[in-house]
Each structure stands twice: as structure tokens, then as C-alpha cells.
Amino acid sequence: MSLLVVGSVALDSIETPFASHKDVLGGSASFFSVVASALTPVRMVAVVGDDFPEEHVDFFRQREVDVEGLQRVEGRTFRWSGRYHENMVDRDTLDTQLNVFQDFKPVLPDAYRESEYIFLANIDPKLQLQVLEQVRNPKFVACDTMNFWLQGETLESFRKVLASTHAVFVNDEEARLLSGEHNLVKAAAAIRKMGVERVIVKRGDAGAQLHDDDGIFIAPAFPLEGVADPTGAGDSFAGGFVSYIANRGRLDGATLRQAMVFGTATASFSVEAFSLDRFKTLDLPQVLDRCAKYGELVRFDPISL
Ligand code: AMP
């Protein structure tokens, strides 16, 4: 099986009430690839500038991420900076510099065109569309975005992306922006009417919801004693979710629910350290152990009076 991702590879500057870090490895494609590669081979399509530290590319390679589609060009790498509020959930984007992404034209290496599973991570929807046009016959396509892209011309492109995918990941704010509905059940239903079968709403420490033909499935967040940096939690969730589906090769209701739990577990590790640092020491048995603990946390006997 083969999983292709297009998205941002970034240098992030993050401030939390407790610490701040400058120019650390970030980006939607980075989090997604590193997480997903634990279960399935990943092909990465993105661009970095000549200032991007080679040690990060080595880290991708160590995780067996195929970086043939990661272009390095003259110029500055994409940069994003954000500041988290006291609650460590809400955040303000302080700055987004597209830099080398401004003129990026993704050209897929030939082998990538046959990829069966596709994740269109948060990036300019026009780039998501260009990638989609180059793949031949994918089995499952999922996409993500961010409020930054949900306005004007790029919003129009994102609507086209939505209509050609099988699943979309959104947070509450994005769900409301896209649908114009405040209530999340109504918002998810409205987004499904735009042509995408499954809507996954990510709600930070309030967990995630899957909305599809079977109804709604809810997965609470795994309770943690401390959160160091929530950045990338959404991409790590998607990395766990999509790689689980690719690994199993099925899309039935039971598999989708397991994918929600696997995504919840991988996202919970992501926030325990800054940037992608937690993944430097994480292995699959630790993730599976957390999935088992999670099963205990949500298990209860049927109620009968
Ligand atoms: P998340 O916390 O899951 O929403 O993902 C945050 C990551 O998305 C950061 O590492 C950023 O580098 C990246 N990012 C932020 N804004 C954008 C944007 N407008 N387009 C693409 N990637 C972005």
C-alpha cells in the first residue's frame, strides 16, 4: 500500500504561557508523515528553502519517509508563528510567511502517481488540487485546511478539493467558517452536503467527532497531565487516522472507529513535547499501549434499570 501527502514543511516559532521556541521543525506534512510512517510507507510532496536544516530531512529519512518529492529551492522556508492562550487550546497566528510555497508547482515523481491513499494536508488548496490532478486512481483521499485558506479565491478552490475527497478534517472554527452554522452537528451535515462523505471535527482537548452515513462517533481526548505544545495535534491525528486505514485496507464502520482511536492516541503524544520531538523516542508498542488504556477509559457496561 502507498500513502502520499502534500502539505507544508515549516520552521515554526511557538509561544506558550510556559516556554517559547524559534524556528523549530513544523508543518502539516512533517507531522503527518512522521506519524503515518509508523504504519505505512509515506511519500512526501513539499518544498523547503536553502535555509532548511539538513538534519530535519535526515529525520524524515530515518522514519522511512520517501523524500523524493520534497524539493529544495533557493529562498526561505515557509514560516509560521503562533501564540497559545492560558488554556493551551486557543491560539493566535502571529505570522504566516509562504516564502518558497508562493511559486511552488508540485510535480509528482512517476511512482507517486499510483499512490492508493492520499492526504491533502493543510496548504494552499490550489496545490492540493494540482496534486489530485496528477494521481491516477486513488482508493481514499482525505483533506485538511486552516482558517487562513478559507477566504476569497482560496476558499473557492477548497470547495473543489472538498467535492473530490472522501473525508475532511476540520476544527470547530473551520467547520463553522465553511458551513456558516454554529452548531457542530448542523455544520458537519452542511459540509457533507458539499460533496464529502465523512467529516471529522477535531476539538482539541474536547476530542474528535466522526460524522458519516452511520451517524456520529465521538472520541474524547486522552487525558494528559501536561501539554507542552499543541501545534501539530491535528496533523498527528490525521496521520494516525489515515495510516491506520491504509494499513488495514478497509473503510467499514468498525475500522473507521478504530482509526479515530488510533488518531486520538497519536495526537496525544504529539502535544507532550515541542515540535516533533516526542516522535524521536516514540515507538509503536507505546502507541498501542495507550490505545489499550483508552479502551479502559471509555468502556462501560450497558445501563439497565
Ligand atoms: P495544527 O496545530 O495541526 O493546526 O498544525 C499546525 C502546523 O500547520 C504548524 O506546524 C504550521 O507550520 C502549519 N501551518 C500553519 N499555518 C499554515 C498555513 N496557512 N498553511 C499550511 N500550513 C500551515
Cα-to-centroid distance, 49 and ligand 1 (Å): 17
Tell me the backbone φ, ψ of residue 25, rounded to 5 degrees: -65, 130
DSSP letter at 222? P
Query: Is residue 123 lining ligand 1, measured as CB closer than 6 Å?
Result: yes
Domain boundaries, the chain: 3-291
Cα-to-centroid distance, 9 and ligand 1 (Å): 9
Alpha carbon 278 to chain centroid distance? 16
* Calpha distance 302→305 (Å, rounded): 10
Residues 128-140: tens digit of each pLDDT? 999 999 999 999 9
Task: Output the residue whose Cα is nearest ligand 1's atom 9.
Answer: 27
- Ligand 1 atom closest to Cα of residue 78: 12
Query: Is residue 171 lining ligand 1, measured as CB closer than 6 Å?
Result: no
- Testing ligand 1's pocket by substitution, the residue of 6, 8, 34, 147 carrying the most ligand atoms inside 8 A of its CB is 8
Q: Is this structure's pTM higher than 0.95?
A: yes
Cα-to-centroid distance, 150 and ligand 1 (Å): 14
Cα-to-centroid distance, 265 and ligand 1 (Å): 20
Could you tell me the sign of the dihedral formed by the alpha carbons of 39, 43, 46, 51, in that order? positive
The half-sphere exposure of 202 on its side-chain side, counting CA atoms within 13 A, is: 27
Question: Is residue 209 classed as helix, strand or coil in its secondary structure?
Answer: strand
Residues 64-84: tens digit of each pLDDT? 999 999 999 999 999 999 999
* Unique residue bearing C-alpha cell 487516522: 241
Tell me the backbone φ, ψ of residue 192, rounded to 5 degrees: -60, -35
Task: Output the residue whose Cα is nearest ligand 1's atom 7.
Answer: 27
CATH 3.40.1190.20 assigned to domain 3-291? The reply is yes
The set of cell numbers assigned to 35 is 506519524
The pLDDT, as a whole number, for residue 109 is: 92
Here the contacts of 190-197 (C-beta below 8 Å, separation 24 or greater) are: 191/162, 194/159, 194/162, 194/163, 195/162, 195/163, 195/164, 196/162, 196/163, 196/165, 196/166, 196/167, 196/168, 197/166, 197/167
Query: Is residue 26 lining ligand 1, measured as CB closer than 6 Å?
Result: yes
Q: What is the tally of helices (H) and strands (E) in the chain?
A: 9, 14
Alpha carbon 170 to chain centroid distance? 9
Cα-to-centroid distance, 122 and ligand 1 (Å): 7
**CA nearest 258: which of 295, 286, 284?**
295
- Ligand 1 atom closest to Cα of residue 30: 10
Cα-to-centroid distance, 295 and ligand 1 (Å): 30
Could you tell me where the beta strands, DSSP code E, fall in the chain?
3-6, 10-15, 20-26, 42-48, 65-66, 70-72, 78-84, 91-97, 117-120, 140-144, 167-171, 198-202, 208-212, 215-219
Query: Is residue 124 lining ligand 1, measured as CB closer than 6 Å?
Result: no
* Unique residue bearing C-alpha cell 517559547: 20
Tell me: pLDDT of 269 over 90: yes
Cα-to-centroid distance, 99 and ligand 1 (Å): 14
Please, are residues 146 and 232 in contact by the beta-carbon 8 Å criterion?
Answer: no
The pLDDT, as a whole number, for residue 1 is: 79
Residues 33-50: tens digit of each pLDDT? 999 999 999 999 999 999
Question: Is residue 53 classed as helix, strand or coil in its secondary structure?
Answer: coil
**CA nearest 270: which of 297, 244, 235, 245?**
235
Instruction: Place 25 in a pLDDT band, splitting at 50, 70 and 90.
Output: very high
- Ligand 1 atom closest to Cα of residue 12: 12
Query: Is residue 174 lining ligand 1, measured as CB closer than 6 Å?
Result: no
Query: Is residue 116 lining ligand 1, measured as CB closer than 6 Å?
Result: no
The pLDDT, as a whole number, for residue 74 is: 98
Residues 136-177: tens digit of each pLDDT? 999 999 999 999 999 999 999 999 999 999 999 999 999 999
Cα-to-centroid distance, 90 and ligand 1 (Å): 14
Task: Output the residue whose Cα is nearest ligand 1's atom 20.
Answer: 123
Which residues have C-beta within 8 Å of that of residue 28, sequence separation ≥ 6? 7, 8, 121, 122, 123, 144, 232, 235
CB atoms within 10 A of CB 58: 11
* Calpha distance 131→106 (Å, rounded): 7
